[in-house]
Amino acid sequence: MHIIVCGALVVNDAVLLVHRSPARLAYPDLWDLPGGHVEAGESERQALARELREEVGVEIVAESCSRLGDLRSGSGEDAVHVGVWHVGAWFGSPTNRAPDEHDDLAWVGLSELGGLPLVHGGLPALLRALDGPPASRLVEEVA
């Protein structure tokens, strides 16, 4: 089983999505939350912090993260378990730091997710809980 984590960074009722490159073997040409595999010896929060740093260049505030839920697909050795996390605060401005994996990133309105080709069809339902009063904020870097 593959254990994956992904993080929902939300600003003004829009969530940051990455577009998986059409050349990717797994889930090509689809939109997803940034994230990736949990490595041996890592907790999900540790993997989330590492993956968001590697993929979009932000440093998350671990205490601001809360689990939204889980998504599952496949079976046997090909089974995938995805832990979906809301990241309430982070340092830095997201940029595409993994151009070999993603060819684009975009802020997408939470109400617009259903119209996109997503890796996980259950993602809009999990993120619906975030569509309301701003619960997240960007942490400004201190010079």
What are the structural domains, with CATH classification, of the chain? 2-129 (3.90.79.10)
> Which regions in the chain score pLDDT beneath 50?
133-143
**Which uninterrupted H or E stretch holds 50?**
helix 44-56
Which tens digit of pLDDT belongs to each residue from 71-106? 998 888 888 999 999 999 999 999 999 999 999 999
At residue 134, the pLDDT reads 42
Query: What are 4's two structure tokens?
Result: 């994956």
- pTM assigned to the model: 0.89
How does DSSP classify residue 16? E
End-to-end CA distance of the chain: 43
CA 7 to chain centre: 3
